[in-house]
Amino acid sequence: MTHHCKLQDEMNTAAAVDSPTSDAADECIQKRRILVLSGVFPTAAYPNHAVFVKNRVRAVADLSGYEVRVVSPVPRFPPIKWLKRWYLWSQFPKEEVLDGLQVSRTRYFQLPKIGGYFSSELMFGAIRRRVEQIRKTFDFDLIDAHWAYPAGVVAARLGHLYRKPLVVTGRGEDMCRFPDYPLIGRRIRHALRQATQCIGVSREIARAMVANGARADRVHVIPNGVDCKTFRPLSQPEARRKLDLPPDAKVIVSVGDRFQNKGFHLLVDAVARMRRKFPNVLAVIVGGAPRTGVDFLPEIQRRIQQGDMQRHVRIVGRRPHEELVWWYNAADAYALFSEREGSPNVLLEALACGTPCVATPVGGIPDELADTNLGVLLGERSAEAAADGLTEALTRPWDRQAIRRAMEARTWHHTATQVADVFDRALEIHGQGKQVTSRQ
In 3D space, the residue among 61, 72, 126 whose CA is nearest the CA of residue 103 turns out to be: 72
| Predicted local distance difference test score (pLDDT) of residue 78 | 52
CA distance 341 to 202: 9
Mean pLDDT (10-residue bins), the chain, 440 residues = 38 37 48 95 85 96 96 73 58 88 86 61 88 96 97 96 97 93 94 97 96 97 96 98 98 95 96 97 94 87 95 95 96 97 94 98 94 97 98 98 96 97 96 51
| Predicted local distance difference test score (pLDDT) of residue 3 | 37
| Predicted local distance difference test score (pLDDT) of residue 26 | 45
Task: Tell me the whole-structure pTM to 2 decimals.
Answer: 0.85
Measure the CA dihedral 314/319/302/357, to 10°. -70
| Predicted local distance difference test score (pLDDT) of residue 183 | 87
8 Å CB contact between 360 and 338: yes
| Predicted local distance difference test score (pLDDT) of residue 123 | 86
| Radius of gyration of the chain, Cα coordinates, nearest whole angstrom | 22
| Predicted local distance difference test score (pLDDT) of residue 84 | 57
| Predicted local distance difference test score (pLDDT) of residue 211 | 97
Q: Structural domain boundaries of the chain?
A: 2-225+411-429, 236-407
- Tell me whether domains 2-225+411-429 and 236-407 share a fold: yes
CA distance 404 to 14: 26
| Pairing of the two strands 333-336 and 357-359 | parallel
2-225+411-429: CATH homologous superfamily?
Answer: Glycogen Phosphorylase B; (3.40.50.2000)
CA distance 62 to 440: 8
In 3D space, the residue among 433, 437, 426 whose CA is nearest the CA of residue 29 turns out to be: 437
| Predicted local distance difference test score (pLDDT) of residue 46 | 81
| Predicted local distance difference test score (pLDDT) of residue 146 | 98
Q: What is the CATH number of domain 236-407?
A: 3.40.50.2000
| Predicted local distance difference test score (pLDDT) of residue 120 | 77
